DNA sequence: CGACATGATTGAAACGATTCATTTTTAGTA
DNA sequence: TACTAAAAATGAATCGTTTCAATCATGTCG
């Protein structure tokens, strides 16, 4: 249906090679010819067929990006950042979300393979990275996102989650809370594990402080609400006076449950800290104290690293970017921080 | 780098045609051969090269989906729905967001063209649909999403926005609010325009009621906050006692500004209605009354319609799906709806 | 036993852009 | 004008898959 280089060549009275040159290296073509060809392109409404182009090239101009949860605004921000930086460099981003399913992760990676993506950005769900090794061995660079590479075998762009957990719980302890609950799971997610470790390290160094772990199956508002109800059902003795949730979605769910019941006040009875600083944390029932991660910058940086790896090929240097998380204090821990 | 059908054929001792048959129509190949070829595929780790496949086919197995704002959870839900349904039918979704930029919309459509997408799902920013006509004339089906087609020239899956606006403002009027503000813009976005029309129709039929239009440049939390401050700065006489915001993001922004100042109470001084019923509406400072749209179902249905159009080709029947919006009452208009 | 239908397999052509070794044109110089 | 170097243009080969007309094998039936 659409015009091809051949038709453009015919229209302009030149060879297909010349049309291709006009498209890709106009500097080697005489000015007069460029004009002719451009006119023909215009006239026929020619649009490059990317499939043919990438068939020849051997790989596409797409990056594959896989996040843990496409409905988490944090990951949307990461995606946004990645997408922009990729576009600036003439690449597109194929976005997918594993959504807590190992199968989906597997399928999405298959898809990336079929598309011969030029690189993979991934926040892996699987802790076994062998599939990623294979992908890289096949010549496709891989960068871990929002997740470090302990053995530095992959380049990574992440945030120090242990430190994040530490800051969060230290804040709770500083406020005099001693009976802390960490809410989050599944533990197989490394980010969750690290945030928990940070939390534990603070508790270990604080007299009288105890930490209980309330497990969740997902990091969603729904699960948060479930945990909230669980907390409401506890008797006063065991009930925590400080909660650190593994992300803001959980925290908002918990908050919702507590506020709806009206039985427990935040932060008076329970102080609450989330993680990510998504936009909605600020406009929550009780504005949420949380740990900020530079989401868009993570996305941008990840693409930069990927571009460098793609450039370098075989002998690419692995880079480890670790951003430092920051505490954002709001009323879910300190009342009336904004009013007087 | 990766193995090709040719190598698989050699490995299995058959022709390339047979390998292709095993891949696409195993029923015409003898069982013995299928086994041999499958083994070879396994051994070589063969993965189809989709570029070659779609070059041959003339079009890809991607659908292009363009939404107005990728950071709006409503559109993320639409995307989620579309993505799932597409995947069920062996298609992938190339997601883009015009983000209030006509240029971006144009570029993204160019990208879709280059990718020879099998169909376009779009919530158009441009009111001039001529580009979409061209795309369809070139043989690519187009379905409008979250947007009707007044002249029925395109298939569409939408929600009755006029009705939505009506319900929202009727609710405010029923509560005795007479000085209503409609917050939203730019007016070039049809959804905004229709919701405003619905609002106006109610006001026109109500004695003493007045409507003012507070324009925004975007439908974001930030813009909402800006409007909120504007409202705070008004003197009591002109200040509205009921606000209908064109979407939840705006509403949450407004809410945030009002609550932070502490000068005006929601809903006592100002009742607030949003639009979309995003997840975060429920966990807002003051849980938000809003108009629910079946986001995921819109996405799914849009893909269904697109598949039908693609199937039918030239003589496809245009379908108009119009969902009915529903009022969800929460405390931003009716205090203590959940407590006693 | 031979003719024939049916089933299975083959292999060359096609899709459209890019590359690059080769040829043609142009411009500059003696 | 003749010759040469540089610039410009050419076109065949290539990427990997699918398709389809043609060929080959197998078994059935008269």
The tens digit of pLDDT for each residue in A51-70 reads: 999 999 999 999 999 999 98
The answer to whether residue A65 neighbours chain B at the CB level (below 8 Å) is no
Average pLDDT for B212-229: 95
Average pLDDT for A144-168: 96
Q: Which residues pair with B328 in a beta bridge?
A: B290
Q: Mutation test of the interface with chain A: which of B4, B47, B51, choosing the one with the most A Cβ atoms within 10 A?
A: B51
CA distance B166 to B65: 29
Give Cβ neighbours of residue B150 (< 8 Å, ≥ 6 apart). Answer: none
Top-tier CATH class for A161-293+328-338: alpha beta
Give Cβ neighbours of residue A15 (< 8 Å, ≥ 6 apart). Answer: A9
**Six-digit token pair at A333?**
């821990």
Domain layout of chain A by residue ranges: 5-48, 57-159+295-323, 161-293+328-338
Q: Are A92 and A79 in contact (CB under 8 A)?
A: no
The answer to whether residue A42 neighbours chain B at the CB level (below 8 Å) is no
What pLDDT shows up at residue A317?
Answer: 93
pLDDT at B85 exceeding the cut of 50: yes
Determine if residue B277 is left, alpha or beta; phi over 0 gives left, psi from -120 to 50 gives alpha, anything else beta.
left
Q: Are B221 and B180 in contact (CB under 8 A)?
A: no
What pLDDT shows up at residue B1?
Answer: 62
What pLDDT shows up at residue A100?
Answer: 86
The answer to whether residue A286 neighbours chain B at the CB level (below 8 Å) is yes
CA distance A208 to B103: 60
pLDDT at B340 exceeding the cut of 60: no
pLDDT at A337 exceeding the cut of 80: no
The answer to whether residue A70 neighbours chain B at the CB level (below 8 Å) is yes
Identify the three-state secondary structure at position B12: helix
Cβ distance of A253 and B280 shorter than 8 Å? no
Average pLDDT for B312-330: 93
Is 1.10.3470 the CATH classification of the domain at A5-48?
no
Using an 8 Å CB-CB cutoff, list chain A residues near B64.
Answer: none
Q: Are A212 and A182 in contact (CB under 8 A)?
A: yes
User: Residue B339's pLDDT band (boundaries 50, 70, 90)?
Assistant: very low
3-state helix, strand, coil in chain A (%, to 5): 45, 15, 35
Q: What Cα–Cα distance (Å) separates residue B285 from each residue in A282, B259, B331?
A: 9, 8, 10
Q: In 3D, which of A93, A97, A92 has the Cα closest to residue A107? A: A97
Residues 155-184 (A) with a CB less than 8 A from some CB of B: none
The answer to whether residue A88 neighbours chain B at the CB level (below 8 Å) is no
Q: In 3D, which of B83, B119, B232, B325 has the Cα closest to residue A99? A: B83
CA distance B282 to A14: 64
Give domain B57-159+295-323's CATH superfamily.
Response regulator (3.40.50.2300)
Integer distance in angstroms from the first to the last C-alpha of chain B? 68
What pLDDT shows up at residue B192?
Answer: 96
Summarize pLDDT for A185-222 with one digit per residue, the tens: 999 999 999 999 999 999 999 999 999 999 999 999 99
pLDDT at B32 exceeding the cut of 80: yes
Cβ distance of B77 and A58 shorter than 8 Å? no
Give Cβ neighbours of residue B87 (< 8 Å, ≥ 6 apart). Answer: none
CA of B47: nearest nucleotide by C1' is: D16
Pairing of strands B290-292, A119-122: unpaired
What H or E segment, with its residue span, contains residue B228? Answer: helix B221-233
Contact pairs from chain A to chain B, CB under 8 Å: 115
What pLDDT shows up at residue A1?
Answer: 63
pLDDT at A340 exceeding the cut of 70: no
pLDDT at A126 exceeding the cut of 90: no
Q: Are B75 and A138 in contact (CB under 8 A)?
A: no
CA to C1' distance (Å), from B30 to C1? 28
CA distance A328 to A86: 30
pLDDT at B54 exceeding the cut of 90: yes
Query: CB pairs under 8 A, 24+ apart, for A45-48?
Result: A45/A2, A45/A3, A45/B134, A46/A2, A46/A3, A46/A4, A46/A5, A46/A7, A46/A8, A47/A2, A47/A3, A47/B110, A47/B113, A47/B114, A48/A23, A48/B114
CA distance A78 to A276: 11
Give Cβ neighbours of residue A79 (< 8 Å, ≥ 6 apart). Answer: A65, A67, A70, A93, A95, A299, B70
Cβ distance of B76 and A55 shorter than 8 Å? no
Domains B57-159+295-323 and B161-293+328-338 share a fold: yes
* Nearest-by-Cβ selection for A256 from B54, B92, B282: B282
């Amino acid at each position: 249906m659409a015009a091809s280089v051949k038709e453009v060549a015919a229209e302009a009275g030149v060879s297909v090679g010349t049309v291709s040159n006009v498209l890709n290296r106009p500097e080697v073509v005489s000015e007069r010819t460029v004009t002719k060809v451009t006119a023909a392109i215009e006239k026929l409404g020619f649009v490059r067929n990317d499939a043919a182009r990438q068939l020849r090239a051997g790989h596409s101009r797409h990056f594959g990006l896989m996040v843990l949860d496409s409905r988490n605004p944090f990951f949307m921000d990461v995606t946004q950042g990645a997408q922009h930086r990729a576009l600036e460099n003439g690449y597109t981003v194929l976005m997918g979300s594993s959504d807590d399913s190992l199968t989906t992760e597997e399928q999405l990676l298959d898809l990336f393979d079929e598309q011969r993506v030029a690189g993979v950005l991934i926040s892996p769900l699987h802790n076994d990275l062998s599939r990623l090794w294979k992908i890289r061995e096949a010549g496709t660079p891989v960068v871990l996102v929002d997740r470090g590479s302990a053995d530095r075998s992959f380049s990574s762009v992440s945030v120090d989650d242990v430190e994040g957990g530490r800051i969060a719980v230290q804040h709770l302890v500083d406020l005099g809370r001693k009976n802390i609950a960490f809410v989050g799971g599944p533990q197989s997610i490394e980010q969750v594990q690290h945030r928990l470790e940070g939390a534990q390290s603070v508790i270990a160094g604080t007299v009288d402080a105890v930490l209980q772990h309330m497990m969740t199956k997902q990091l969603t508002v729904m699960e948060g609400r479930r945990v909230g109800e669980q907390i409401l059902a506890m008797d006063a003795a065991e009930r925590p006076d400080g909660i650190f949730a593994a992300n803001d979605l959980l925290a908002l769910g918990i908050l919702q449950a507590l506020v709806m019941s009206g039985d427990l006040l935040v932060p008076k009875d329970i102080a609450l800290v989330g993680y990510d600083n998504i936009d909605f944390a600020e406009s929550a029932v009780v504005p949420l104290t949380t740990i900020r991660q530079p989401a868009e910058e993570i996305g941008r940086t990840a693409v930069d690293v990927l571009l460098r790896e793609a450039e370098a090929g075989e002998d690419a240097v692995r880079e480890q970017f670790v951003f430092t998380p920051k505490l954002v204090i709001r009323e879910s821990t300190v009342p009336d921080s904004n009013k007087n």
